[in-house]
Amino acid sequence: MSIADLISSLLASILTLMVLSYLVGDNPLFRFAMHLLVGAAAGYAGAIAIHNVLKPGLVDPIATAGLEGLLNPSALATVILPWILVLTLLLKISPATSRFGTPAMALLVGVGAAVVVGGAISGTLLPLSLDSMQSLNPAGVGSSGATLERLLELVIVLLGTLSALFYFRFSSRASGQETPLANLAGLSIPGPLSLLRSVGSGFIAITFGVMYAGAVAASLIILAERVQFLRDTLSNLLGVSG
Amino acid sequence: MIVLRCLNCGILNPGLAAACRRCGAQLEPILMGGLADEEGEADENGDWLERMRQEAQHLSAGDEPAEDQPPPEGEAAAAPSGSDKLAEAEIPDWLDRIRETQTGELRAKAAAEAAGTASPPPDQSSLDDSAIRARLGPALPTGEPAREPKWPAEPVEELPSWLQDVGAGPKAETEAPPRVPALIGQAPDQPEAIRPAEDLPEWLGEIDTLKESLEEQMRGPSAAPGSDLAPATLPSWLEAMRPVETFRSVVQMEAEEDQSIESVGPLAGLRGVLLAEPVVAMPRTSTVGSMQLDVTERHYAQAELIHKMVEEEQREVAAGPRKATGLPFFRWGIAALVLLGVALPIFSGAPVFALPRLAPQELSVLFDLVERLPVDRPALLVFDYEPGNSGELDAVAGAFFDQVMGRGIPLATLTTRPAGSALAKRALDERAARFGYVPGQSLVHLGYLSGGSTAVQLLAINPRATILEGFDLPEGMPEDIWNAPLLQGIQTLPDFSTVAVITSGSESARLWAEQVGSRMGDTPLVMVLSAGAEPLIRPYFDLQEAQPGERRVDGILSGLPAAASYELRNGRPGLALARWNPFGSSMLAAELILLAGAGYGIANWWLGRKAG
């Protein structure tokens, strides 16, 4: 390991310990590490934006085309219009000139919203809804093998979908005053709507639980990587082979 | 009660008043009878007239002559007899004062007549007029100013001693307020306004009649019989039509002494003139075109509520004493347990957990998919995560990279995060050297794709218009990165052999599935995910299983167990297997903590229920 690698590993280890010092509480070491991380990330992002976005998108076309190229009508859409939009967007810096940047901002937001909404409808809503309906098709079940496992999966999908939709219906949530179906030995059996709502909340809780478990697992993997890194750095400093 | 009516202004004054309370003129009581009911009795008896006549004669005769001084000639007959003296003893005090006053005047008159023998007597009419004016002063109805008597007064030395005393009276009267006759009478038991007109003199009756007519006009039609409206109440519709004024609509009349005197204009010198400034010069709300707001009590309540909210915002809350917090032993305990679970296998090599024997079902799909990828077209790897997640995703995606690079498939990297290019370089450079990849020929970093969802959709349609400059390109690369031998055959996104998105967030994965998934054609789309993002992305993979024609995600890899299985299947141990024991140990610690927390909650609930 070179000296540069050793120094960089040592600095990284110190910063890792400074971040882990948050266990004691909020302290200057943790804040310093956070400020350093945010500053370095912002500076790096700015440099990337200049070299990978602004320079090839705005400067290079002008440098390549020259003054004669700018007079070309085709340059209006590829060079001049982007510059106008960028300059007007820069006017958003000052409240006095902010309104001049509104068209560029409206273009950004409008196009972005249209793309997101269109993609959500055509890529998520319709395909997944059709898939949920298709899963109840007996022909589909038969084609993929009418095993008990498959049937059980379909029942779970159907029950989970319907009960979750019932849970998010406000009318169903307001049915908490529903008359209990029966009372057995002092145990009240809720009505069908309340029962379906409870099942839906159960499915939603399981979903969130799985997501939370995944997040915990990811965090533990990251922590293991950091501890492994600290152990490697310490071994390198002490000259002990791992 | 005895009252004196001033003949100058007509107002009633108390019986003991020496001057009128309104005009200030000195009152000379003239007994003309009561004004109340006793008057009728006096009329019936006729005694009061007789007494008044005798009193007048007595006063005209020089009033009570002193016993040591003989009465003047001609007045002896008018001297009071014994019976008169007896009646005089019964005269009340007020009449005595009247008598004394008139006695003094008569004495002064007699002295003036005696002195007038040396000078030509003035005309009787003018004398009477002068005397009246001297007594009434400027309050005389003619408006002519009061004058002093024109004849000169006799020197005081020539007057008798008793007249010298009397003579001082008229001289003093010239500086005093004018004297006017006052009618003596009884105060009415009822208010004067309701006294029958026939009991009053004719001219007073006319005044009362005029006053009543004016009051009737001022009351207006609102006081007409049969009206339901109160005198000071307007109908609601009329109230709504009333213009809003900023100044007071009711003029408060000030006392006469406080009213200002007009200084300019034709009304100069008059007091109590209405001021024009409030109407002309002072600002006020225009009544032209003004709108009457229909403000209800609810509006007032809401306005008051907003006012209170604004006041609450502006109110500074005093900083309370900082709550003393104890040391976070609980947090320290949990952290120590987790750190112990992670560090123990790393530093001591124990415990050792069994490797996963059952691979996830989707792993075989992904493995077979990579095995079928063509090697003549590059695979696009999208590094869509932040450096903080590299500890997990480098270990999860390592097995996928190993399989792809083991097959010699050319690679191109892309990122939608500014720091993604550096992560790609860090993750692939070491493997590139291991698998013999040459930067620029079999591995190229396309760099940062800015623009979010719009740019991703544009990338799916026309990648050459989206990516303009690469990242960390080696020497010898053409100016246009798309002219590099590796990328010459790429015109659209499906021209890549596969597109693999390595991401830590479900939003980013869903964005790629929505915008790119339907445009991939036969080119597979692979998702390498963090464990937390898998539940929300798995439906896109299951969709491919149910409807092969509507696929969105063709392969999915998530979590360290799947990655460890992948490495075992690849036969290339990597980061996943290296972190398997720390991961297992820390997960065990986390499960113990969760179980302890759940047990504590159940016990707490059970104890609470038992305690009622």
* Chain A residues closer than 8 Å to B453 by CB: 112, 115-116, 119
Residue A34 — φ and ψ, nearest 5°?
-65, -45
Q: So what's the pLDDT on residue A14?
A: 95
Cβ atoms of B527 and B509 closer than 8 Å: yes
Min Cα–Cα distance to chain B from A169, Å: 21
- If you search the block for the tokens 């209170």, which residue do you land on? B308
**Is the CB of B392 less than 8 angstroms away from the CB of A225?**
yes
Which pairs with CB-CB distance under 8 Å and at least 24 residues apart come from A190-199? A193/A166, A196/A162, A196/A163, A196/A166, A196/A172, A197/A163, A197/A166, A197/A167, A197/A172, A197/A173, A199/A159, A199/A163
What does the angle CA B432 – CA B436 – CA B441 come to, to the nearest 5 degrees?
80
Q: So what's the pLDDT on residue B143?
A: 41
Mutation target to probe the B interface, by most B beta carbons within 10 A, among A78, A221, A229, A238 is A221
Mutation target to probe the A interface, by most A beta carbons within 10 A, among B330, B347, B392, B393 is B392
Closest CA to A159 of A188, A195, A107: A195
**Is the CB of A218 less than 8 angstroms away from the CB of B328?**
no
Q: Name which of A31-45, B263-277, B485-499, B539-553 the model is least confident about.
A: B539-553
Closest CA to B508 of B384, B338, B357: B384
Task: With a cut of 70, say whether residue A44 has pLDDT above it.
Answer: yes
The encoded tokens of residue B342 equal 């992670």
A–B: how many Cβ contacts below 8 A? 157
- Please tell me which residue of chain A has the smallest CA distance to B510: A124
Task: With a cut of 60, say whether residue A146 has pLDDT above it.
Answer: no
What is the rounded CA–CA span in Å between residue B323 and residue B63? Answer: 104
* Chain B residues closer than 8 Å to A210 by CB: 535
Q: So what's the pLDDT on residue B64?
A: 47
Most confident of A95-109, B176-190, B264-278: A95-109
Q: So what's the pLDDT on residue B551?
A: 66
Q: So what's the pLDDT on residue B146?
A: 42
pLDDT band at B313 (very low <50, low <70, confident <90, very high): confident
Whether the link from the prior residue into B29 is cis, omega within 30° of 0, is: no
Q: Which domain holds residue A198?
A: 146-238
Which residue among B510, B546, B550 sits closest to A135, beta carbon to beta carbon? B546
**Interval A147-190: pLDDT, tens:** 677 778 878 888 888 888 888 765 554 555 666 667 766 677 77
Q: So what's the pLDDT on residue B446?
A: 92
More confident position, B141 or B234: B234
A93 belongs to a structural domain: no
Locate the domains of chain B by residue range: 2-65+76-202, 361-580
- Please tell me which residue of chain A has the smallest CA distance to B537: A124
What is the rounded CA–CA span in Å between residue B577 and residue B396? Answer: 10
* Chain A residues closer than 8 Å to B468 by CB: 52, 56-57, 60
Which residue among A57, A216, A220 sits closest to B468, beta carbon to beta carbon? A57
**Interval B381-421: pLDDT, tens:** 999 999 999 999 999 999 999 999 999 999 999 999 999 99
Q: So what's the pLDDT on residue B174?
A: 45
Q: So what's the pLDDT on residue B138?
A: 46
Provide the 10 A C-beta neighbour count for residue B499.
25
**Is the CB of A140 less than 8 angstroms away from the CB of B550?**
no
Contacts of B560 (CB under 8 A, 6+ apart): A217, A221, B392, B395, B396, B531, B576, B579, B580, B583
For the CA atoms of A201, A205, A208, A212, the dihedral, rounded to the nearest 10 degrees, stands at: 160
Q: Give the Å distances, CA to CA, from A224 to A36, A114, A230, B308, B531.
A: 23, 42, 10, 54, 15
Cβ atoms of B278 and B248 closer than 8 Å: no
Which residue among A55, A127, A210 sits closest to B550, beta carbon to beta carbon? A127
* Chain B residues closer than 8 Å to A226 by CB: 391
Judge residue B42's burial from the number of C-beta atoms within 10 Å of its C-beta, 0-12 exposed, 13-18 middle, 19 or more buried. middle
Mutation target to probe the A interface, by most A beta carbons within 10 A, among B454, B507, B537 is B454
Closest CA to B477 of B412, B393, B540, B386: B412
| Average pLDDT over chain B, rounded to an integer | 74
- Please tell me which residue of chain B has the smallest CA distance to A242: B347
Residues B444-472 have a mean pLDDT of: 90
* Chain B residues closer than 8 Å to A128 by CB: 539-540, 543
The encoded tokens of residue B97 equal 């004062």
Min Cα–Cα distance to chain A from B401, Å: 19
Q: Name which of A113-127, B115-129, B335-349, B373-387 the model is least confident about.
A: B115-129
Q: Which of A49, A72, A95 is the last residue of a domain?
A: A72
What does the angle CA B478 – CA B481 – CA B486 come to, to the nearest 5 degrees?
95
Which residue among B535, B540, B578 sits closest to A214, beta carbon to beta carbon? B535
**Is the CB of B338 less than 8 angstroms away from the CB of A223?**
yes
What does the angle CA B18 – CA B22 – CA B25 come to, to the nearest 5 degrees?
45
Which residue among B468, B517, B587 sits closest to A123, beta carbon to beta carbon? B517
What is the rounded CA–CA span in Å between residue B177 and residue B18? Answer: 11
A136 belongs to a structural domain: no
Residues B531-557 have a mean pLDDT of: 78
Mutation target to probe the B interface, by most B beta carbons within 10 A, among A5, A52, A208 is A52
CA distance between the termini of chain A: 14
**Is the CB of A218 less than 8 angstroms away from the CB of B587?**
no
Share of chain B above pLDDT 70, in %: 59
A18 belongs to a structural domain: yes
Min Cα–Cα distance to chain A from B436, Å: 22
3-state DSSP call for residue B52?
helix
The encoded tokens of residue A51 equal 């070299």
Min Cα–Cα distance to chain B from A228, Å: 7
Task: With a cut of 90, say whether residue A38 has pLDDT above it.
Answer: yes
Closest CA to B446 of B495, B394, B482: B482
Min Cα–Cα distance to chain A from B488, Å: 20
**Is the CB of B583 less than 8 angstroms away from the CB of A131?**
no
Task: With a cut of 60, say whether residue B249 has pLDDT above it.
Answer: no
What is the rounded CA–CA span in Å between residue B593 and residue B323? Answer: 28
Q: So what's the pLDDT on residue B230?
A: 53
**Is the CB of A221 less than 8 angstroms away from the CB of B560?**
yes
Quote ipTM for the complex.
0.84
Share of chain B above pLDDT 90, in %: 30
**Is the CB of B547 less than 8 angstroms away from the CB of A130?**
yes
Sheet of B443-448: strands edge to edge?
B443-448, B411-415, B379-384, B498-503, B525-529, B555-558
How many domains, in total, are found in chain A?
2
Contacts of B2 (CB under 8 A, 6+ apart): B15, B94, B184, B185, B186, B187
**Is the CB of B518 less than 8 angstroms away from the CB of A210?**
no
Which residue among A122, A216, A231 sits closest to B347, beta carbon to beta carbon? A231
More confident position, B127 or B217: B217
Q: Which of A19, A49, A72 is the last residue of a domain?
A: A72
Buried b (16+ CB within 10 A) or exposed e, A211-241: bebbebbbbbbbbbbbbbbbbebeebeeeee
Min Cα–Cα distance to chain B from A214, Å: 4
The encoded tokens of residue B268 equal 């100069």
Cβ atoms of B526 and B501 closer than 8 Å: yes
Q: So what's the pLDDT on residue B27?
A: 75
Share of chain A above pLDDT 70, in %: 86
What does the angle CA B71 – CA B76 – CA B81 come to, to the nearest 5 degrees?
110
Min Cα–Cα distance to chain A from B367, Å: 22
Min Cα–Cα distance to chain A from B227, Å: 57
| E strand spans, B485-573 | 498-503, 525-529, 555-558
Task: With a cut of 50, say whether residue B67 has pLDDT above it.
Answer: no
Task: With a cut of 60, say whether residue B153 has pLDDT above it.
Answer: no
**Is the CB of B582 less than 8 angstroms away from the CB of A224?**
yes
The encoded tokens of residue B363 equal 């792993």
Min Cα–Cα distance to chain A from B226, Å: 59
Min Cα–Cα distance to chain A from B309, Å: 28
What is the rounded CA–CA span in Å between residue B9 and residue B6? Answer: 6
Min Cα–Cα distance to chain A from B557, Å: 13
Sheet of B26-31: strands edge to edge?
B12-14, B2-6, B179-186, B26-31
* Chain B residues closer than 8 Å to A158 by CB: none
Q: So what's the pLDDT on residue A39?
A: 96
Task: With a cut of 50, say whether residue B144 has pLDDT above it.
Answer: no
Architecture (CATH level 2) of domain B361-580: 3-Layer(aba) Sandwich (3.40)
What is the rounded CA–CA span in Å between residue B49 and residue B43? Answer: 8
**Is the CB of A128 less than 8 angstroms away from the CB of B543?**
yes
* Chain B residues closer than 8 Å to A120 by CB: 514
**Interval B260-276: pLDDT, tens:** 777 777 888 887 777 77
Q: Which of A72, A87, A107 is the last residue of a domain?
A: A72
Task: With a cut of 70, say whether residue B176 has pLDDT above it.
Answer: no
Which residue among B395, B448, B539 sits closest to A52, beta carbon to beta carbon? B448
Task: With a cut of 90, say whether residue B502 has pLDDT above it.
Answer: yes
